[in-house]
Amino acid sequence: MKTPIYMDYHATTPVDPRVVEEMLPYFTEMFGNAASRNHAFGWGAEEAVEQGREHVAGLIGAEAKEIIFTSGATESDNLALTGIAEFYKDKGNHIITCVTEHKAILDTAHMLESKGHRLTYLPVDNQGCIDLNQLEDAIGDDTILVSLMAANNEIGTIHPLKEIGRITREKGVLFHCDATQGVGHMDLDVNEMNIDLASYTAHKIYGPKGVGALYVRRRKPRVRLSPIIFGGGHERGMRSGTLNVTGIVGFGKAAQLMIEEGTSEREQLQSLAGRLREGITRELDHVHLNGHPTQRHPGNVNLSFLFVEGESLLMGINDIAVSSGSACTSASLEPSYVLRAMGLGDDLAHSSIRFGVGRFNTEEEVDFVIRRVVETVARLREMSPLYEMANEGIDLDKVQWNVH
Ligand SMILES: *Cc1c(COP(=O)(O)O)cnc(C)c1O
Q: 98, 129, 177, 328: which one is catalytic?
A: 328
Question: What pLDDT is attached to residue 360?
Answer: 98
- Least confident stretch, 163-177, 285-299, 343-357: 343-357
Residues with CB under 6 A from ligand 1: 72-74, 102, 104, 149, 153, 178, 180-181, 201, 203-204, 212
Same domain, 242 and 269: no
Q: From the CA of 101, give the closest atom in ligand 1.
A: 13
Quick check: 28 pLDDT over 50? yes
Same domain, 247 and 377: no
> Is 2 domain-assigned?
no
> Is 345 domain-assigned?
yes
Q: How far is the CA of 180 from the centre of ligand 1 (A)?
A: 6
Question: What pLDDT is attached to residue 84?
Answer: 98
Which residues make beta-bridge pairs with 11?
none
Tens of pLDDT, residues 116-127: 999 999 999 999
Q: From the CA of 152, give the closest atom in ligand 1.
A: 13
Same domain, 119 and 247: yes
**What mean pLDDT comes out for the span 142-164?**
98
Substitution candidate for ligand 1 out of 79, 105, 158, 180 with most atoms within 8 A of CB: 180
- Least confident stretch, 81-90, 265-274, 345-354: 345-354
- We report the CATH number of the domain holding residue 325 as 3.90.1150.10
Substitution candidate for ligand 1 out of 107, 149, 181 with most atoms within 8 A of CB: 181
Q: How far is the CA of 293 from the centre of ligand 1 (A)?
A: 23
> Is 396 domain-assigned?
no
Same domain, 137 and 236: yes
Same domain, 162 and 273: no
**What mean pLDDT comes out for the span 152-158?**
98
- Higher-scoring residue by pLDDT: 368, 330: 368
> Is 12 domain-assigned?
no
Look at residues 243, 258, 273 and tell me which one is the last residue of a structural domain: 258
Q: From the CA of 74, give the closest atom in ligand 1.
A: 9
Q: Which domain holds residue 328?
A: 263-391
Substitution candidate for ligand 1 out of 76, 78, 153, 329 with most atoms within 8 A of CB: 153
Same domain, 80 and 147: yes
> Is 4 domain-assigned?
no
Residue nearest atom 15 in ligand 1 by C-alpha distance: 153
SS3 track for the chain: CCCCEECECCCCCCCCHHHHHHHHHHCCCCCCCCCCCCCHHHHHHHHHHHHHHHHHHHCCCCCHHHEEEECCHHHHHHHHHHHHHHHCCCCCCEEEEECCCCHHHHHHHHHHHHCCCEEEEECCCCCCCCCHHHHHHHCCCCEEEEECCCECCCCCEECCHHHHHHHHHHHCCEEEEECCCCCCCCCCCCCCCCCCEEEEEHHHCCCCCCCEEEEECCCCCCCCCCCCCCCCCCHHHCCCCCCCHHHHHHHHHHHHHHHHHHHHHHHHHHHHHHHHHHHHHHHCCCEEECCCCCCECCCEEEEEECCCCHHHHHHHCCCEECECCCCCCCCCCCCCHHHHHCCCCHHHHCCEEEEECCCCCCHHHHHHHHHHHHHHHHHHHHCCHHHHHHHCCCCHHHCCCCCC
Tens of pLDDT, residues 202-258: 999 999 999 999 999 999 999 999 999 999 999 999 999 999 999 999 999 999 999
Look at residues 258, 289, 311 and tell me which one is the last residue of a structural domain: 258
- We report the CATH number of the domain holding residue 59 as 3.40.640.10
Question: What pLDDT is attached to residue 398?
Answer: 77
What's this model's pTM, rounded to 2 decimal places?
A: 0.95
Look at residues 258, 279, 301 and tell me which one is the last residue of a structural domain: 258
Residue nearest atom 9 in ligand 1 by C-alpha distance: 74
Residue nearest atom 7 in ligand 1 by C-alpha distance: 72
Instruction: Provide, rounded to the nearest whole percent, the portion of the chain with pLDDT above 70.
Output: 97
- Least confident stretch, 155-164, 254-263, 316-325, 372-381: 316-325
**What mean pLDDT comes out for the span 72-100?**
98
Q: How far is the CA of 74 from the centre of ligand 1 (A)?
A: 6
Same domain, 267 and 254: no
Same domain, 339 and 218: no
Same domain, 268 and 251: no
Question: What pLDDT is attached to residue 322?
Answer: 96
Question: What pLDDT is attached to residue 399?
Answer: 75
CB 100 within 8 A of CB 152: yes
Question: What pLDDT is attached to residue 256?
Answer: 98
Substitution candidate for ligand 1 out of 81, 102, 148, 323 with most atoms within 8 A of CB: 102
Q: From the CA of 104, give the closest atom in ligand 1.
A: 10
Question: What pLDDT is attached to residue 331?
Answer: 54
> Is 398 domain-assigned?
no
Tens of pLDDT, residues 261-306: 999 999 999 999 999 999 999 999 999 999 999 999 999 999 999 9
**What mean pLDDT comes out for the span 331-353?**
86
Per the annotation, the verdict on 129 as an active-site residue is no
**What mean pLDDT comes out for the span 122-141?**
98
Mean pLDDT of the chain: 95
Based on the structure, what is the number of domains in the chain?
2
Q: From the CA of 203, give the closest atom in ligand 1.
A: 7
> Is 399 domain-assigned?
no
Same domain, 99 and 183: yes
Using pLDDT thresholds of 50, 70 and 90, give the confidence band for residue 19: very high
Same domain, 200 and 215: yes
Same domain, 249 and 283: no
Q: How far is the CA of 201 from the centre of ligand 1 (A)?
A: 7
Q: How far is the CA of 73 from the centre of ligand 1 (A)?
A: 5
Q: How far is the CA of 112 from the centre of ligand 1 (A)?
A: 19
Q: From the CA of 201, give the closest atom in ligand 1.
A: 7
> Is 402 domain-assigned?
no
